[in-house]
């Protein structure tokens, strides 16, 4: 593989992660829209026969659970961490690739001494440092994504909108499958 292929591959991974984040955000907001649509309209509730006993005079009506429970607010915050981690991953990964490419432009063959070898070695050390930060950001991205999904599902106000998430492993592929009502 050439460096251009590796850079193209890294770009496609970053694009895939960004697409996954966008899909997760759309699923989260679609769940909220479906929940809001399933609630009866105020006019329909007034026209329906009174099946429930009326509360005593002066008593405040029981609050209805909203879409955003405390756990779901935490999930939204964790999703923000996920977006930041994706940004750090993309930026630091690109910096690592640039430093690596520049080092190889200075000294084409690492086995042959060159006049600017110290500069190339410094750039390679910088590339390794940026790659290390990108790897930590990727781990944070994956972990925060999993945590956001768990918190969002566990924080659901009712069981009307459930999503099942399961790993999928097959020869030559690995991924996650999400099924259920959104």
pLDDT tens sequence across 5-47: 556 666 666 666 666 666 665 655 555 555 545 545 444 444 4
Number of domain units in the chain: 1
Residue 129 domain-assigned (yes or no)? yes
pTM, full prediction: 0.54
Q: Which two tokens stand for residue 83?
A: 């977006």
Residue 6 domain-assigned (yes or no)? no
Residue 178 domain-assigned (yes or no)? no
Position 44 scores a pLDDT of 46
Upper half-sphere CA count for residue 38 (Cβ side, 13 Å): 14
CB 64 within 8 A of CB 42: no
Q: Is 69 exposed, middle or buried (0-12, 13-18, 19+ CB in 10 A)?
A: middle
- Under-50 pLDDT residues of the chain: 36, 39, 41-48, 50
Q: Which two tokens stand for residue 127?
A: 């590339």
Position 174 scores a pLDDT of 83
Residue 56 domain-assigned (yes or no)? no
Residue 147 domain-assigned (yes or no)? yes
CB 67 within 8 A of CB 32: yes
Position 132 scores a pLDDT of 97
Position 176 scores a pLDDT of 80
Residue 74 domain-assigned (yes or no)? yes
Neighbours of 130 (CB within 10 A): 20
If you count DSSP H runs as helices and E runs as strands, how many of each does the chain have, helices first? 4, 2
Which 3 state secondary structure label does DSSP give 67? coil
Position 30 scores a pLDDT of 58
Position 80 scores a pLDDT of 94
Domain membership of residue 110 as a residue range? 67-157
């Amino acid at each position: 593989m050439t460096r251009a292929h590796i850079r193209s591959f890294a770009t496609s991974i970053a694009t895939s992660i960004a697409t996954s984040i966008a899909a997760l955000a759309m699923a989260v907001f679609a769940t909220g829209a479906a929940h809001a649509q399933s609630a009866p309209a105020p006019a329909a509730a007034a026209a329906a026969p009174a099946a429930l006993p009326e509360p005593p005079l002066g008593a405040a009506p029981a609050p209805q659970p909203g879409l955003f429970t405390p756990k779901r607010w935490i999930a939204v915050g964790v999703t923000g961490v996920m977006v930041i981690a994706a940004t750090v991953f993309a930026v630091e990964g690109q910096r690592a690739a640039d430093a690596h490419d520049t080092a190889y432009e200075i000294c084409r063959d690492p086995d042959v001494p060159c006049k600017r070898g110290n500069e190339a070695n410094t750039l390679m050390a910088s590339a390794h440092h940026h790659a290390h930060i990108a790897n930590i950001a990727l781990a944070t991205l994956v972990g925060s994504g999993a945590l956001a999904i768990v918190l969002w599902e566990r924080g659901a106000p009712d069981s009307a909108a459930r999503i099942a998430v399961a790993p999928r492993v097959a020869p030559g592929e690995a991924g996650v499958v999400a099924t259920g009502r959104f």
